[in-house]
Amino acid sequence: MIVNEETPLISAEENSALQPGEHEEDALYNRFSKSQKRTILALVSWSGLLPFFVTGSFVPTVPQIAKEFNTTGSVINLSVSFAVLTLAFGNLFWARYSSFYGRRPIFTYSLPILCVASLGAGLARSVPELLLWRVLQAFGASAGMSVGAGVIGDIYKLEERGAAMGVFFAACCFGPALAPLCGGIAAHYASWRAMQYALFFSSIIAFVCILPLLPETIHPGEKGIERYLREKGHGDEEWRWVWLNPLSSLKFLRSPNVSAVTLACAFTLLTDYALLTPLSYTVGERYNIKNEVIVGAFFLPAGLGNIVGSPLAGAISDRIVVKWRAKRHGEWVPEDRLRAAVPGILVFAPLSILVSGFATQYVSGTAGIVINLVCLFVNGVGIDVVFSPCSAYFVDLAHSRSAELMAASMCVRAAIIGISVAGVLPLIESIGVAATNAIVAVIAWIGFGLLWCTILYGGKMRAWVDVASPDSHNH
């Protein structure tokens, strides 16, 4: 079966993308100029960064908040858990509606929710009030990642998509490294409320910029509302509210390709969280670093690694797609893009956490600190070397519904990370940091096995769930 990139690789039920000829396909991606694409990429990258600040910047402020409200850190930490869960399921909600109504309305409705909720969190006078505003805050921020990735799939064609996705993830993934430092600085020199007000102003800036500068990017004819109105005989009516099931996006996980790559990403990301989450109890205690700002600064090498790794891996994945398609005389196999993720999941991520664990436990003084800083940087590179090509792969598979696929993948990752990270610190206290990190490294290598199986047998795996055969894809 000879198909082009617009042929559904998930079943027709999952993806109703158009199947134009080469000229029509080029026209779809040439609707926006290069400068417009860069502007759109910058806007969605800014929106994709915000959810990481909503969660990450709050963690260092927990002791201060607990003291102000005369409660315990465990009670305030509930807002962190609620926010993470809301981000996971909010992703599903916004992504599902972005496929139905388009990308632009999602940003214009979600960002005002984030604005109001951030202001509400900053003005909160009780724990229940804070919890409520934090949940709404996370819900408003949750559109950024999945819908942003969908926008990139809308405007960048196959050979450009990896590089664009790399830039997007470089911006987004800098959040986990920078947010705790910003939150710590705000709490130390001003108040925990200052960070909430900063999020309020940041989301206002994003909204004010997106309103005039972000056009609708979803391909003509691919909105669910357009098909719905035609089927119901409502003619060209522009808008009608339709109740949708956000959990329906999870059916993408029936694809073994999607499930395998999702687990590979989750197992790789676990190395990052296992390094960073207990940092004050591992590196901080081992090297007697008590200052919260200095501990927060240890997150920066990981963020720098994200910035270096993501664009690099995205561009390499584009070159790999072109190279392997040429080897096959014009045939396109989506799984070729995943080859760019191999160094990150096989070498960078697992070895960095392995070395960090042994250095923390056995190497004292400045040498131990330097080794850990290098490991944090290498891990940051490794995470994004995996995430950029894998995310572009999801967009390659699903096209107009790529935001939903991304949201389903993120929801599973959040559940795995949330459950796993809760056990990291108790495990470190029980068997030591070196043994704990070794276990996490092995889990990452299991992820490599899943990814490599997808690269080798991706076509057959897609056939298991009634998908189009990729044996001879021609873009």
- Condensed to tens digits (0 to 9), the pLDDT of residues 304-353 reads 888 788 778 878 888 898 899 888 888 888 899 999 999 999 999 999 99
Q: What is the per-residue pLDDT for 3?
A: 41
* CB 382 within 8 Å of CB 344: yes
pLDDT range class, residue 2, cuts 50, 70, 90: very low
Is 155 part of a structural domain of the chain?
A: yes
What's the angle, vertex CA 264, arms to CA 262 and CA 267, rounded to 5?
110
Query: Distance of alpha carbon 331 from its chain centroid, rounded?
Result: 29
Which CATH number covers residue 429?
1.20.1250.20
Enclosing domain of residue 115 = 22-463
Tens digit of each residue's pLDDT (9 = 90 or more) over 53-96: 888 788 778 778 888 999 877 677 677 778 877 888 888 899 88
- Helical packing angle, 192-213 and 127-141, nearest 10°: 30
Is 6 part of a structural domain of the chain?
A: no
Q: What is the per-residue pLDDT for 76?
A: 78
Q: Quick check: 44 pLDDT over 50?
A: yes
Is 140 part of a structural domain of the chain?
A: yes
pLDDT range class, residue 237, cuts 50, 70, 90: low
Q: How many domains does the chain have?
A: 1
Q: What is the number of other CB atoms lying within 10 angstroms of the CB of residue 18?
A: 15
Residue-wise burial string across 207-239, b where 16 or more C-beta atoms lie within 10 A, e elsewhere: bebbeeebeebbbeebbbbbeebeeeeeeeeee
Positive or negative CA dihedral for 245, 246, 252, 253? negative
Is 39 part of a structural domain of the chain?
A: yes
Tens digit of each residue's pLDDT (9 = 90 or more) over 355-394: 999 999 999 888 999 999 999 999 999 998 998 899 888 8
Is 17 part of a structural domain of the chain?
A: no
Q: What is the per-residue pLDDT for 26?
A: 67
Q: What is the per-residue pLDDT for 223?
A: 80
Q: What is the number of other CB atoms lying within 10 angstroms of the CB of residue 157?
A: 15
Rounded Cα gap, residues 263 and 157, in angstroms: 26
Rounded Cα gap, residues 169 and 393, in angstroms: 14
Q: What is the per-residue pLDDT for 266?
A: 94
Q: What is the per-residue pLDDT for 122?
A: 94
Tens digit of each residue's pLDDT (9 = 90 or more) over 176-191: 778 877 888 888 888 8
pLDDT range class, residue 238, cuts 50, 70, 90: low
Q: What is the per-residue pLDDT for 151?
A: 92
Name the average pLDDT for the chain: 83
Is 69 part of a structural domain of the chain?
A: yes
Q: Quick check: 11 pLDDT over 70?
A: no
Is 16 part of a structural domain of the chain?
A: no
Residue 460 vs residue 233, higher pLDDT: 460
Q: Quick check: 281 pLDDT over 90?
A: no
Task: Give the lowest-confidence range in 78-82, 155-159, 314-318, 407-411.
Answer: 78-82
Give the residue ranges of DSSP H helices in 277-348. Answer: 283-286, 292-297, 300-327, 342-343
Q: Quick check: 236 pLDDT over 80?
A: no
Is 14 part of a structural domain of the chain?
A: no
